[in-house]
């Protein structure tokens, strides 16, 4: 049996693995475009959280694609973004007919995040399957319902990051949630190889695994992060880092670490519980600076 080991993520590791640094005379084009496909009529805020987090992580340009019923409210909340209103299918997910609205962005997008707050499994998966070939040059982060695409897809052409918690991982693999929590390193490594993705299996101990078996372990003792919207923020941070030029594994490791440290800052300010997911992104820039 192969013996698995993971590198512990701490400040020393992050200091030794610096994020891509923008040039002093650079502009927004140099830090990449991130496209966030997210939200629904029931959960428009997920698109706002993820997109805001991507910008706080340093992405240069932002496009949000969200169903028509959510587009106006999302645009009002994120004035930095270009917002594309997608036609909706009967189940509330994006209609396949909305794909042409995003095709022109494929060649100029550095990172694509799909999934936060989306509903309608069948329409969403059809949309994702049609969208991925358009964004062959981008690092793709599949989150929430969009992760189901790996259950049926062949090996994807672009770098892909998945961000499941134990419950979502059990759904994707047919395993038991408790078993995954007991052996997160084995589960993350096995399925990162199986799907040929960088996989961040989230929990109090988060494992980030590459397809080749290399893995990182991040321990977090911040229970306040277990709240609505927290995962949307994490996905946005990772996507923003990828847009800046971080490799998929670096974006995932740094994203997990920054997200946890933002929770620590807010816990010190407000208490263990009760701070909000919308407050996390504002802490990211100072944390990146401190770790640079």
CATH number of the domain residue 59 falls in: 3.40.1190.20
Structural domain span for residue 112: 31-291
State the pLDDT at residue 1: 39
Please report, for residues 82, 105, 145, 239, the alpha-carbon distance to residue 72 in angstroms, rounded to integers and kept in the order given: 11, 21, 23, 23
119 part of a folded domain: yes
State the pLDDT at residue 238: 98
CA atoms within 13 A on the CB side of 11: 7
State the pLDDT at residue 190: 93
Residue 109, pLDDT > 60, answer: yes
Residue 27, pLDDT > 80, answer: no
State the pLDDT at residue 26: 65
Phi first, then psi: what are they for 230, rounded to 5°?
Answer: -65, -45
64 part of a folded domain: yes
Summarize the confidence of residues 20-25 as an average pLDDT: 76
Please report, for residues 27, 87, 237, 244, the alpha-carbon distance to residue 22 in angstroms, rounded to integers and kept in the order given: 8, 36, 17, 8
d(CA 66, CA 79): 15
11 part of a folded domain: no
Residues of the chain with pLDDT > 90, as a percent, come to: 83
Helices (H), 37-165: 44-56, 68-77, 121-131
Confidence of residue 152 (pLDDT cuts 50, 70, 90): confident
272 part of a folded domain: yes
The 10s digit of each residue's pLDDT in 44-103 is: 999 999 999 999 999 999 999 999 999 999 999 999 999 999 999 999 999 999 999 999
Contact residues for 77 (Cβ-Cβ < 8 A; gap 6+):
45, 48
Nearest to 215 by CA among 223, 204, 205: 205
In this structure, how many other beta carbons lie within 10 angstroms of the beta carbon of residue 209?
A: 30
**Number of separate domains in the chain:** 1
d(CA 177, CA 182): 9
> Measured on CA atoms in the order 85, 37, 63, 78, is the torsion positive or negative?
positive
Residue 115, pLDDT > 60, answer: yes
13 part of a folded domain: no
The 10s digit of each residue's pLDDT in 231-277 is: 999 999 999 999 999 999 999 999 999 999 999 999 999 999 999 99
The SS3 of residue 212 is coil
d(CA 167, CA 241): 26
21 part of a folded domain: no
């Amino acid at each position: 049996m192969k013996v698995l080991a993971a590198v512990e993520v701490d400040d020393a590791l992050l200091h030794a693995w610096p994020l891509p640094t923008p040039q002093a005379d650079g502009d927004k084009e140099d830090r990449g475009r991130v496209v966030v496909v997210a939200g629904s009529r029931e959960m428009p805020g997920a698109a706002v959280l993820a997109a805001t987090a991507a910008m706080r992580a340093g992405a240069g340009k932002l496009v949000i694609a969200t169903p028509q019923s959510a587009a106006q409210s999302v645009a009002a909340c994120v004035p930095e973004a270009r917002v594309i209103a997608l036609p909706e299918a009967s189940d509330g997910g994006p209609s396949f007919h909305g794909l042409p609205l995003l095709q022109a962005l494929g060649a100029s997008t550095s990172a694509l995040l799909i999934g936060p707050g989306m509903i309608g499994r069948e329409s969403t998966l059809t949309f994702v399957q049609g969208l991925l070939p358009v964004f062959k040059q981008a690092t793709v982060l599949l989150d929430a319902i969009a992760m189901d695409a790996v259950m049926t897809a062949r090996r994807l052409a672009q770098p892909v990051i998945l961000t499941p918690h134990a419950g979502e991982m059990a759904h994707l693999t047919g395993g038991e949630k408790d078993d995954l929590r007991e052996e997160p390193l084995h589960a993350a490594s096995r399925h990162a190889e199986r799907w040929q993705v960088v996989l961040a299996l989230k929990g109090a101990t988060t494992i980030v695994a590459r397809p080749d078996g290399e893995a990182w372990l991040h321990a977090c003792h911040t229970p306040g992060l277990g709240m609505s919207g927290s995962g949307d923020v994490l996905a946005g941070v990772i996507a923003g880092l990828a847009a800046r030029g971080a490799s998929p594994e670096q974006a995932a490791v740094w994203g997990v670490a920054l997200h946890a440290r933002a929770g620590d800052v807010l816990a010190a300010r407000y208490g263990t519980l009760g701070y909000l997911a919308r407050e996390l992104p504002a802490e990211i820039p100072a944390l990146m600076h401190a770790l640079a």
